[in-house]
Amino acid sequence: MNVLGIQEGMLEKLRKTTLADIVTNNIRSAIIFEELRLDFCCKGRRTLEEACAGKKLDVKKVVDELVNLANCERDDQKVNTMELNSLIDHIVDNHHQYVRRITPVISAHSDKVVSVHGENHPETVQIADLFLAVRDELESHMMKEERILFPYIKQMVHAREKSEQCYPTHFGTIGNPISIMELEHVSAGESFDKIRELSGNYSVSGKACNTFKALYSELKEFEEDLHRHIHLENNILFPRSIELEHKLLQKGFV
């Protein structure tokens, strides 16, 4: 029996595996990491043991949860095995479109909550400002990916398949725009760390109005999607794209 790609008798190895690799081997493990607040995207290079120690979690119990989840019959799309073109389309169609669809809703709810509850809940004003900054940054971020980075990756795939030359770029090696994208990922992640802290981990009292409850639920869902989004890019798409460029350079196609 496989456990997240690792044989059952090798659970000790799982403790030493990075969060990024665990999620790459089984995207469903992100569910548990989200619940335990273990950052597998921006801080995905930590081992499971290190991450659990930082949160004072029992690593054996976390491993048990991962094993149980891996044994579920539910089928998940293995995005880590997708071709680069398909992975890019998956990111755009699922995560980019989700961001574009939900941000106006969250912004409207946030404005309403601030106008009604801002005086008694000043933290909502800070949350609104932080989310606005994230929204604006993500709009620019996704546009740069869709207009510059992603088309170049697809061009490299085409060059590999057809043994053709890539068109020259203005940004040099692909590592340059990727470094910028990763920095912007960190910025968005840190902003949501602050939002989660200000919101008390997205908790509202039972007496809160429905808009207040909806806002915090939407923010929580947004952060969870953001983590999966960043994971797909930082830990799968970007490393594979850098590797592809290196191979093309060796062949003189770049």
Residue 72 has what pLDDT? 54
pLDDT value at residue 167:
81
Do 95 and 176 fall into the same domain?
yes
Place of tokens 């039972």: 206
List pLDDT tens digits, range 151-205: 999 999 999 999 988 887 889 899 999 999 999 999 999 999 999 999 999 998 7
The residue segments making up the domain with residue 148 are: 79-251
Q: What is the pLDDT of residues 33-78, one digit of tens each?
A: 988 999 988 889 999 999 999 999 999 999 988 887 776 544 445 7
pLDDT digits (tens, 9 = 90+) for 180-195: 999 999 999 999 999 9
Is-contact 160 244, C-beta < 8 A?
yes
Of 40, 70, 100, the position where a domain reaches its end is: 70
Confidence of residue 138 (pLDDT cuts 50, 70, 90): very high
Q: Which of 49, 70, 91 is the last residue of a domain?
A: 70
Choosing from 38, 70, 102, the residue where a domain stops is 70
If one counts the domains in the chain, the total is: 2
- pTM beyond 0.85: no
Question: 173-182 contacts: CB < 8 A, separation 24 or more?
Answer: 173/245, 174/149, 174/241, 174/242, 174/245, 175/242, 177/144, 177/148, 177/149, 178/149, 178/238, 178/241, 178/242, 180/144, 181/141, 181/144, 181/145, 181/149, 181/233, 181/238, 182/234, 182/238
Question: Percentage of the chain with pLDDT > 70?
Answer: 93
Smallest CA-to-CA distance from 85 within 174, 161, 168, 194 is with: 161
Using CB atoms within 10 Å of the CB of residue 137, give its burial: 0 to 12 exposed, 13 to 18 middle, 19+ buried: middle
Judged against a pLDDT cut of 50, whether residue 7 lies above it is answered with no
127 or 22, which is more confident?
127
Residues 198 and 243 reside in one and the same domain: yes
* Residue scoring higher pLDDT (8 or 235): 235
